[in-house]
Amino acid sequence: MESTIIDTAVNGQYNNKNLSNFQRKSLAVNAPKYLCDLHVHTTASDGGYTPEEIVRLAVSLGLEAIAITDHDSAASNIAGVKAGEKFGLRVIPGVELTTVEGCHILGYFIQPVESGLYEYLSSLKRQSWTFMCKILERLRSRGLRVTEQELARRTGEGIPNMSHILDVMYARGDLAEPDFDSPAAVSFFGDPDYIVNFFIEFARTRPFIDAAGAIRLILSAGGVPVWAHPLQWCSDIDREELEKLNEEGLVGLEVITPKHGSRARRLLHETCLEFDLIPTGGTDYHGRFFESIEKSRKPGSCGIEPQLLERLEGRALKLQAG
């Protein structure tokens, strides 16, 4: 279904520059529940589509804006913004930083300027490459034929991870399906949780910054920091941690996400009002490799309306003006 949507968009049927808001919704394959999806991944991390492909998909679904928020990489932002300009979709340059505490901090409207953020991302990419080269060598005993050069071509300027190895194996014909949990993939890696477990192993090398530091890095690049899916693993927010992050410059909480039920969303909305934070939302969309987890949800099934995006941008502009 998604490939059909993307192919249709490639042919130029869906181009927001040529459509009114009414026409865009009428032509969309599935009209989105939300017009702005602020949590989307690309091939720069563990997403299944390139920046242009994800933009085409978002346009075909009738969205007005997306934020590219790759894990620990900003490599797709420039290409994503350019694709958005080409197809009439607003693309917010962003990032999703992993932290030592295990929480994720989203950064929106980050600027392509010299800053601590980009120095940190470059260092993290080097550490990830060192780790993934060791993983390649380890997997040789299981018959892995993927070379460092093939992995480098697939990863591009992004941060290498297990989904890139998976995709190269699929492209080589070593796997019949790209799904991370296909029987062939699970059999080859010998572990149904291989993606999570390899990540845990990498995390043990202590490559990540703490949450307060992640907020400072995002601010250094002119971005606005938002705590991603804060109630994914718990029923109540850690108020002590929230107060600490708020003092560091936290701007918002991700509220409308597939990882939150109605109770969590209600609680977080109330928390945003109490702490003067902006509620955000997004699908945390990856596509391709993770269909069984995402259960066919599309960009726009979670998100926010344009008024909240304007409010978020206002905070960014204020921070960038000093």
Count of residues making up the chain: 322
pLDDT at 296: 76
**Do 250 and 215 meet the contact criterion of CB atoms below 8 Å apart?**
yes
In this prediction, residue 291 has a pLDDT band, given cuts at 50, 70 and 90, of confident
Neighbours of 23 (CB within 10 A): 12
> Domain 2-118+211-320 sits in which CATH superfamily?
Metal-dependent hydrolases (3.20.20.140)
Tell me the three state secondary structure of residue 200: helix
**Do 311 and 224 meet the contact criterion of CB atoms below 8 Å apart?**
no
Q: What is the mean pLDDT of the chain?
A: 91
Residue 272, judged by CB atoms within 10 A of its CB (0-12, 13-18, 19+), counts as: middle
Q: Is the pTM value of this prediction over 0.85?
A: yes
In this prediction, residue 11 has a pLDDT band, given cuts at 50, 70 and 90, of very low
Is the pLDDT score of 77 beyond 70? Answer: yes
- Give 33's contacts (C-beta < 8 A, 6+ positions apart): 300, 301, 302, 303
CA angle 99, 302, 56 (to 5 degrees): 95
Is the pLDDT score of 13 beyond 90? Answer: no
The domain ranges of the chain are: 2-118+211-320, 127-203
> Distance between CA atoms of 84 and 221, rounded to whole angstroms?
21
Is the pLDDT score of 229 beyond 50? Answer: yes
Is the pLDDT score of 36 beyond 80? Answer: yes
pLDDT at 29: 47
Strands 90-98 and 104-108: antiparallel
pLDDT at 1: 46
What type of residue sits at position 289? F
> Distance between CA atoms of 147 and 151, rounded to whole angstroms?
6
